[in-house]
Amino acid sequence: MRKLRVGYKILIILIILGGCFVIFHKISQVNLKDNNYNLNNSKSNIKIKQNDVKGNYNSVLNEFDVNYPWKEKGIDSKKVLVGSYDITKENGKNQMWIGKEASITLSSEKSFKYLNIKGWIPVSMHKKINNIQDVSIKFYINDKEIKQLKFKEDKLVNEKIEYEKIKDIIGDNKQFCFKIQVSSSYNPKKEGINDDERDLSMIIDYIGEKN
């Protein structure tokens, strides 16, 4: 009789332990599901952030226009035209300076007749500050020099580079790098002109493909 009671006790203990194991297993499965859900959500959030970044800035464009509402669109214009400064207002008009070098990646998927570069270069300021006779501007495509201009006086720039002259350099690529290099720059603050600490070479209004 005593042995029978001991057997019952052992059986009850085993039943209790078995029940605890089942409950623990179910809880573990729930936790694993929760963890997987959180991980999936985390990955999804990262993708959304990446997509937001891509949506805010597309490096392959057909043109850069100083009058485009870059800021309103959440795009940093300095990342589009690398080497440029923030767009500012001067006498009610948008204005953007570049340093001695600036570059932009342009699309070549669609055909165009010519590449148009518009801006202004203050040659008189360069000559006065740097004691030089003229200022040159060089244009490059994929690091190959394609044209050079020289200016002896302040000049509005409206240069056109025919596609036929650069198509072999672009080749079959879907995009190309266009670079501007100016031979001179000056720092207004260092020269005691004003508080502008930037190294300035020229103003760029537009770079783009035209048909």
* Whole-number pLDDT of residue 34: 37
- Measured CA distances, 44 to 33, 35, 48, 110, 161 (Å): 16, 14, 6, 34, 45
How many whole angstroms separate alpha carbon 169 and alpha carbon 111? 14
197 burial class (0-12, 13-18, 19+ CB within 10 angstroms)?
exposed
Q: Does domain 63-210 have CATH number 1.20.58?
A: no
Q: Are residues 97 and 78 in contact, defined by beta-carbon separation less than 8 angstroms?
A: no
Write phi, then psi, for 86 (nearest 5 degrees). -60, 145
User: What is the token pair recorded at 153?
Assistant: 């006086």
**Type of residue found at 130:** N
Per-residue pLDDT of the chain (211 residues; tens, 9 = 90+): 544 454 555 555 555 555 544 444 443 443 433 333 232 333 322 122 223 333 344 446 899 999 999 999 999 999 999 999 999 999 999 999 999 999 999 999 888 999 999 999 999 999 999 999 999 999 999 999 999 999 999 999 999 999 999 999 999 999 999 999 999 999 999 999 999 999 999 999 999 999 9
Sign of CA pseudo-dihedral 116, 70, 110, 146: positive
Q: Are residues 85 and 39 in contact, defined by beta-carbon separation less than 8 angstroms?
A: no
How many whole angstroms separate alpha carbon 80 and alpha carbon 64? 8
How many whole angstroms separate alpha carbon 183 and alpha carbon 150? 10
69 burial class (0-12, 13-18, 19+ CB within 10 angstroms)?
exposed
* Whole-number pLDDT of residue 44: 25
* Whole-number pLDDT of residue 111: 84
This model's pTM is above 0.75: no
* Whole-number pLDDT of residue 10: 56
Q: What is the DSSP string of 160-210?
A: EEEGGGTHHHHTT-SEEEEEEEES--B-TTTTTS-S--S-B-EEEEEEEEE
